[in-house]
Amino acid sequence: MTDAKTQISETVKANDVVLFMKGTKEMPQCGFSSRVAGVLNFMGVEFSDVNVLADEALRQGIKDYSDWPTIPQLYVKGEFVGGCDIITEMTLSGELDTLFETEGVGFDKEAADKIREANG
């Protein structure tokens, strides 16, 4: 059995986009996780979801791994991007689009523009 840090590291490296969240992308179990998963789903981003509620060691482990106290946590190409507030700001400013473009992550640009229009 691998420890939480090893499991997290392997998950982050094996997937282009990973969201550590409470619940799953189909059934988020907190508002912040729901918001980030909703943005990624709406933008058509393929991502892996990791339900931290299923494993207490993982739930604490991801906070230690990133040195970030809250969940959800988004990783793109192995790098920690941020939590709900940061992802929301990046989405509204267009920075998330730029990150996805730079890293070669597919997403629906029109959907991203619609999010900005609706929140402008």
Cα distance between residue 55 and residue 25, in whole Å: 17
Give the whole-angstrom CA distance, residue 82 versus residue 36: 10
Question: H-type helices in the chain, by residue range?
Answer: 4-14, 31-42, 56-66, 84-93, 95-103, 109-118
From CA 48, how far away is CA 75, in angstroms rounded?
Answer: 10
Q: How confident is the model at residue 18 (pLDDT cuts 50, 70, 90)?
A: very high
CATH of the domain at 34: 3.40.30.10
Two structure tokens written together for 78: 């192995």
30 is in an annotated binding site: yes
How confident is the prediction for the chain on average, in pLDDT? 96
**pLDDT value for 1:** 45
* Tens digits of residue pLDDT in 41-96: 999 999 999 999 999 999 999 999 999 999 999 999 999 999 999 999 999 999 99
- Our count of domains for the chain comes to 1
Instruction: Please check the confidence at residue 3 and state whether its pLDDT lies above 70.
Output: yes
pLDDT at 120: 78
Please give the helix or strand (H or E) that residue 50 lies within, else none. Answer: strand 48-51
Determine the average pLDDT of the residues in 5-15: 96
- Domain of 11 in residue numbering reads as 4-118
Q: Pick from 14, 52, 54: which is nearest to 32 by CA?
A: 52
- The tokens for 66 are 């990133």
